[in-house]
Amino acid sequence: MTHSRPTLSALLDDHGLAPRRDLGQNFVVDPNTVRRIAELSGVGPGDRVVEIGAGLGSLTLALAETGADVVAVEVDTGVAAALRDVTSDLSSVTVIESDATTLDWVDRLDGDGWVLVANLPYNVATPLVCDVLDEVPSVERLLVMVQREVAERFAAGPGSKAYGAVSVKVAFHGLARIVGHVPASVFLPRPNVESALVEITRSAPPDVDADQLFSLVRRGFGQRRKMLRRSLADVVGAEVFTAADVEPTRRPEELDLDDWVRLAVAAGEPT
């Protein structure tokens, strides 16, 4: 059984806790919402799930109901202790008290085929998702609840106002799509922003030096209003644009992943 607003409020009181703004704690207090997230995740018996920012277990319990094994990561000592109490009768749930930004993922997640499902704190959502995509290949699929604008950046394509360096990073690793929206009314405390659910499914990355690629991407989007021939002038010459079949008069938000990859490959070739 997942938490309702009264039961979660009682849990906070029983353990002498209150939501911490510095940790971006907004607990989901609507059973229908967490069950919808669990359903959208597509996990079931035999699947292995890692949940970041598990809080008091609203989503953890919904994921456990599917029959999946859940590794629940929570940084707050008091909340982690309460979460252990909440899940003490569930052998399928393992609680880890740790900061997900410094966690040794290789040590904690053995083998492949993991799914990350989480209500991510807004202040760390983007770097956490990027780090998992870059450094934790054992996580093959992600379903994360984040601020709506962040979800739009993850899933944005060329030409969109939301499209940027993060969008290219996500596209490099797989396919992102927004699969739902979550109203502020289901949280305690209620946030001042809207939330969305974004799914990211891994695929094989392009054959390119990733450091070279993202160095160009960051440089380009650092001056996104300028044409590429100006924003990349000190690292990309006219011959590179020609070799990559990329018009130097284009702006960074007009290039898709394939364009950026060709540009990086051409820039890395000996002259």
Question: Which CATH number is 164's domain given?
Answer: 3.40.50.150
Q: Does 271 score more than 60 pLDDT?
A: no
Q: Indicate whether 53 and 120 sit together in one domain.
A: yes
Q: Indicate whether 30 and 149 sit together in one domain.
A: yes
Q: Indicate whether 36 and 146 sit together in one domain.
A: yes
What pLDDT, on a 0 to 100 scale, did the predictor assign at position 2? 87
pLDDT per position as a tens digit, 80-124: 999 999 999 999 999 999 999 999 998 889 889 999 999 998 889
Q: Does 234 score more than 70 pLDDT?
A: yes
What pLDDT, on a 0 to 100 scale, did the predictor assign at position 76? 96
Q: Indicate whether 31 and 99 sit together in one domain.
A: yes
For the segment 124-139, the average pLDDT, to the nearest whole number, is 96
Tell me the whole-structure pTM to 2 decimals: 0.94
Q: Indicate whether 44 and 178 sit together in one domain.
A: yes
Domain boundary among 202, 227, 247: 202
> Could you give the angle at the alpha carbon of 95 between the alpha carbons of 104 and 67, nearest 5°?
110
Q: Indicate whether 71 and 120 sit together in one domain.
A: yes
Q: Indicate whether 154 and 112 sit together in one domain.
A: yes
What pLDDT, on a 0 to 100 scale, did the predictor assign at position 268? 86
Q: Computed from CA positions of residues 154, 158, 164, 166, in that sequence, does the dihedral angle turn out positive or negative?
A: positive
Which of 41, 40, 261 lies closest to 171, judged by CA?
Answer: 261
Q: Indicate whether 189 and 111 sit together in one domain.
A: yes
Which of 233, 259, 229, 255 lies closest to 244, judged by CA?
Answer: 259
- Per the CB < 8 A criterion, the answer to whether 27 and 191 are in contact is no
Q: Indicate whether 22 and 149 sit together in one domain.
A: yes
Percent of the chain predicted with pLDDT > 70: 99
What pLDDT, on a 0 to 100 scale, did the predictor assign at position 270? 60
Number of domains in the chain: 2
Q: Indicate whether 153 and 113 sit together in one domain.
A: yes
Domain span holding position 143:
5-202
**Residues ≥6 apart with Cβ < 8 Å to 48:** 68, 69, 71, 109, 111, 113, 114, 115
- What is the enclosing helix (H) or strand (E) of 69? strand 69-74
Which of 50, 71, 61 lies closest to 27, judged by CA?
Answer: 61
- Alpha-carbon distances, residue 197 vs 32, 127, 213 (angstroms): 15, 17, 28
Domain boundary among 146, 175, 202: 202
Residue 242: CATH number of its domain: 1.10.8.100
- Per the CB < 8 A criterion, the answer to whether 120 and 178 are in contact is no
Distance CA 68, CA 74 (A): 18
Say how many C-beta atoms besides its own lie within 10 A of residue 64's C-beta: 21
| Residue with more model confidence, 154 or 225 | 154
For the segment 8-18, the average pLDDT, to the nearest whole number, is 95
Amino acid at 236: V
pLDDT per position as a tens digit, 148-191: 999 999 999 999 999 999 999 999 999 999 999 999 999 999 99
Q: Indicate whether 260 and 168 sit together in one domain.
A: no
What pLDDT, on a 0 to 100 scale, did the predictor assign at position 217? 97
Q: Indicate whether 184 and 226 sit together in one domain.
A: no
Domain boundary among 164, 182, 202: 202
